[in-house]
Amino acid sequence: MKTGEVKIINQGLEDEMEVWGYQPCLWKRILVGMGAVCTGGLLLLLLYWLPEWGVKGTCTHTSVRNAHTLLLRSTDEFKQWFRARVHVMLAPGGKPFDSLDLKPKAQLGNGEHGIGAADEEVRGKFAHRQPDEIHYFTHHSTKYYWNDVIQNFEFYKGLEDLKVSCASIHSDHSSGLSKTLQEYRALFFGENEIAVRVPSIFILLIKEVLNPFYIFQLFSVILWSAEDYYYYATAIVLMSVISIATSLYTIKKQYVMLHDMVAAHSVLRVSVCRGNKDIEQAMSTELVPGDVIIIPANGMIMPCDAVLTHGTCIVNESMLTGESVPVTKTSLPSSGEEAASSYDMEEHKRHTLFCGTQVIQTRFYAGELVKAVVVRTGFSTEKGQLVRSILYPKPTDFKLYHDAYLFLLCLVGVAGIGFIYTIILSIMNKVPAKTIIIESLDIVTITVPPALPAAMTAGIVYAQRRLKRVGIFCISPQRINMCGQLNLVCFDKTGTLTEDGLDLWGIQRAEDGRFSPPESEVAKESLVNSAFVACMATCHSLTKIEGELSGDPLDLKMFNATGWILEEPTEEETALHNPIMPTVVRPPKHTVPEANQNNPLTQNMSCEIGIVRQFPFSSALQRMSVVVRRLGEKHMDAYLKGAPEVVASLCKQHTVPQSFTETLETYTRQGFRVIALAHRQLESKLSWHKVQSLSRDLIETNMDFLGLIIMQNKIKEETAGVLQELQQANIRTLMVTGDNMLTAISVARDCGMIRSHEKVIIADAVPPKDLYPASITWRYTDNPAPTNRDSQTVEIHLDEEEEVCDRQVALQEQSYHFAVSGRSFAVITEHFPQLIQKLVLRATVFARMAPDQKTQLVEVLQSIDYTVGMCGDGANDCGALKRAHSGISLSELEASVASPFTSSTANISCVPNLIREGRAALITSFCVFKFMALYSIIQYLSVTLLYSILSNLGDFQFLFIDIAIILIIAFTMSLNPAWKELVWRRPPSSLISGPLLCSVLTQIITCLVFQVLAFLLVRQQSWYEMWTPQSDACNVSSSGLSLNVTSPHDHKNIKNYENTTLFYVSSFQYLAVAIVFSKGKPFRQPSYKNWPFMLSCMCLYTFLLFIMLYPVPAIDSFLEIVCVPHDWRVTLVIIVTVNAAVSFMLEILIVDIVLWRLVFRANQGVNRPSEPSSADAPQVANDRWGPSFLSWLFCRNNKPPTVRYMHLALELQDDADWPPKPSTVTCASDPQSRVSNPL
């Protein structure tokens, strides 16, 4: 669209859209009305299906500011069109956070609610101010308001729009809103409700029935009824009714489930602060951003997103993250460096209570309530956005569905030819006009099969059932087909590749700047009073819920290893004491007196430690800390734990052992998870109240390094086998983890993602600083002891049947992998955009990745045409799971809204199962589509040939073919289960591909040849004549034939020898192509294991052969078949037998062997293109003359790869400077992506 003003809304976001403005146009509407009357309403249907035409056809362009109707188009690859109506709202201010300076006397009761008009109500409420007219529209449950300053529409998320600092939330927003201000903001933000409206059955029915396919069916039924084909029309109507009813039931059920999930606990009474001291009860639907709510001591389900300003909460966030471990939320910092930063929900999520999550219990000190400031409401909340993504999913971008429409268009083109042929033939034979119209339109209804959508869906439904049986639940069935095309899978590490819990392997304390020898026992008496054990016992976020210790599994393992006991104050104790009674940890009583027998009493007292303040773990900071006080001591202590590199940087240099880096690398290379501890004695003058207001930056500095905790993260038993299976299937595997780089590399080696002989290059990028540009240092890690023999054997064995992979063996010595950290990934994305695609092509390990970086990585991989799968535990992988083509969450929940697939099996064995079922479902879709296309063409050929003698197939012949043969076969051929193993090649993703088109075309030509042959042969027979009721071609007495004489279809010339011959031949052709197309290995089990299909085929073959060789008068009469001589029946048996044999030979020899293996195989999944070694070159050349000739014949010589990652791999093969040499540096100022020394 070139004309008219265009605006961009949601710029840079996932739902970015272009907007055009329109005003209604009277003359255009009159023209459309006249057109609708002339076309019997078809024009209105067309405008309903195409919103762009609907708006352009009835409106004229105008500016977006003055528009009455808006036309929106998404800027993504789908380019979806939407229309939206612009509304006008009256409000006393232009923006929700405008200061109204309302005086107390301006009571809101002035407006009478009984007037009915919202605008009148606003005028009444804010009578002292001149109301502004605000234009807005609603799209996908989000309201967009016109902003005169930016001259565009914008939407308001919530309090974050003000870009407030953490300190100003405490100072300016912690006292609450007046009722007047609350009602004013409610005008913009509306009710705080995630409203999932369940449409009525009538509305759903209208939407379903107005589907183009059902409109075509309605047209077909009317046409068939005009031809007196009542039985077939009734059968199709019955099928359609069942299909519509099933669809309505499923859609309604999904809406009700989503509504119930969202509505549960979404409306409740909350305590809201009005000013400093007034507290009133209000409904949660009345909340607006800026309101201050009080969190009750016994917890609540959060009705909005709110930031905690006073107190501490323990929250279960499993609804959002799938992680059932309770999380401790602390109050937002009010002072220090962190308080000066702008509040950001992602950055400050440890202080944010999210909508839909359950606050289990709160901690507070006497006289102060636990308060939170409302940040977002309704669909703007995290839960609201999750619900929006379910309500308005992006279309499934899969080539199969796009090609299916193209294929149908081709069939319509074929139908057009038949349409013109029928008209010309009928006019030449002086057929009545009514008959010409009906018969020519009938050709169109024959060519586009009515049962196609139902048959296509059947395979996916069966696959979904099989997945459910192996514990994989699916909320997006259309994605099952996508799983069949996966060529890369990203895995989270902890809880996915490795065991969820960590086992304590040992500790290594640091004393006087040196490491002590490693110790395996932490709970021994000599360590009870050490700062190291005190740090382990206090530096965590554990809490007691119903008497059970609960919290992060790592914290639990560390605390349990000490053997100490945790005691929390009761509510009564908290209320009685001021200041707060802290959480206390102490060693078991029996260990204390023996710990130091000189003064047992003192030691016993000093072993109890109270946790005064907690700074929770932050993934951005990679650390957590606590402030504690030992019982009986005047000063407080700070303990810190976190990533070793981070902790060491916060410690005094002389306390960090000189061998720190070497020791750390030793452990991480072996795959251990290492955590460092540190301690600092705080000044005596620090009071409890002062500590509560100190920022963590002031406390987490000048620490004394205490040592290392070494945790063992065992690889799950199934991991190595599954990864090997995926690699054998030519599916790339990546690790995306939040863990340490060297640990991740070690785990990748241990589980077989990186083989022992392969190099690992760490891309260490640093952002620009002072005058130095951003740079990347390429560091090569040392290979462990080589075990080449095993891995080479595996590779040769697994790829022996595929020539392309044989070539990779010669290049094993040159193979390498990149490893990238989250920090480096961010720097490279920003400063080296030309390198990012090259890196991800060979990167296998991504360490220290933040959740949003995981999503970015998936997008980068998709940008180079990978079909990406993501497997994680659902905790911090939600974004990546949703963004991937196929996300599978390892969760005990039956279905997680975070990802399309959820596996109840807590290991990655579900991934091959999902891919196998995906491949089977995809091949099934191809088989069914090809079969339905051939069914249409075969019937089209029969009818076209019969039209040439002014005949047609009979009503019951159509009925028998469509119901008894096609429906039964189409639904049973989809039942083949998946093949038991993953093979190297992937199924094609497109219907418009060489092998598939060749397959369909060869079968069409075969069917055409044999139908024409039978049609011409029957007319050459000596007994042939124009059939009449008195004809006696098969020497049966006239009295026997007289049963068939009277027929309501006689005037249609149904009964004749050509009709009978073509009916028999075409019936056998349907069965032959069904068996030919019902492929088994390598993606599905063989057809003989699909007993319903085999039984159906055998019964139909038996029935057809029986009625052909031994005619039954009643059946002949029903099917309107005429009697033919026995010799001709035998001839027909020979014709259909030869036809079936030719179909099989063409499919197996030409398509499966010649074309697929020799010509088109080169296009399949070459992740790492390479050249054969020179020694093998002559032999390879000799073996390849046949494929070369065929490639030339099919114009495929030197054809560049169609997918970007292959194209990129071929480019890099010829790049002498890639991969970069060891220890070289690439600077951001380099204009080229080429990397050379000095880079």
Question: Phi, psi at residue 468, to the nearest 5°?
Answer: -60, -35
- Angle (nearest 5°) at CA 1189 between 1185 and 1195: 140
Beta-bridged to residue 886, according to DSSP, are 869
Which tokens hold the place of 235? 């059968």
CA 896 to chain centre: 12
**Which of the residues 492, 555, 637, 1230 is marked catalytic?**
492
- CA 402 to CA 1030: how far, in whole Å? 53
b/e sequence 819-844, b meaning 16+ C-beta within 10 Å:
bbbbbbbbbbbebbeebbbbbbbbbb
Q: Answer whether 237's CB lies under 8 Å from 245's CB.
A: no
Closest alpha carbon to 587 in 506, 508, 533: 533
- CA 20 to CA 8: how far, in whole Å? 9
Number of neighbouring beta carbons within 10 Å of residue 228: 12
- CA 377 to CA 1023: how far, in whole Å? 85
Burial class (CB in 10 A: 0-12, 13-18, 19+), 801: exposed
Helix (H, G, I), strand (E, B) or coil at 811: coil
CA 793 to chain centre: 36
Respond yes or no: is residue 492 known to be catalytic. yes
CA 525 to chain centre: 52
- CA 715 to CA 19: how far, in whole Å? 51
- CA 941 to CA 947: how far, in whole Å? 10
Polymer length of the chain: 1239
Q: Answer whether 783's CB lies under 8 Å from 812's CB.
A: no
- CA 847 to CA 643: how far, in whole Å? 13
- CA 1151 to CA 867: how far, in whole Å? 26
- CA 314 to CA 316: how far, in whole Å? 7
Q: Answer whether 494's CB lies under 8 Å from 500's CB.
A: yes
The distance between the two most distant Cα atoms of the chain, rounded to a whole number of Å, is: 127
- CA 586 to CA 606: how far, in whole Å? 9
Closest alpha carbon to 439 in 1119, 940, 963, 1028: 940
Q: Where are the beta strands (DSSP E) in 140-220?
A: 142-147, 152-154
Beta-bridged to residue 362, according to DSSP, are 313
Beta-bridged to residue 542, according to DSSP, are none
Q: Measured on CA atoms in the order 198, 203, 205, 207, is the torsion positive or negative?
A: negative
The residue type at 1220: P
Beta-bridged to residue 889, according to DSSP, are 872, 902
Closest alpha carbon to 233 in 251, 221, 216, 241: 221
Which tokens hold the place of 595? 């710990």
Helix/strand number for the chain, H first, E second: 45, 41
Helix (H, G, I), strand (E, B) or coil at 1235: coil
Could you give the C-alpha distances from 680 to 507, 511, 585, 623, 629, in angstroms and in order? 20, 14, 18, 15, 12
- CA 812 to CA 814: how far, in whole Å? 5
Q: Answer whether 853's CB lies under 8 Å from 826's CB.
A: yes
Q: Answer whether 154's CB lies under 8 Å from 147's CB.
A: yes
Place of tokens 């996300």: 887
Q: Which residues are the active-site residues?
A: 492
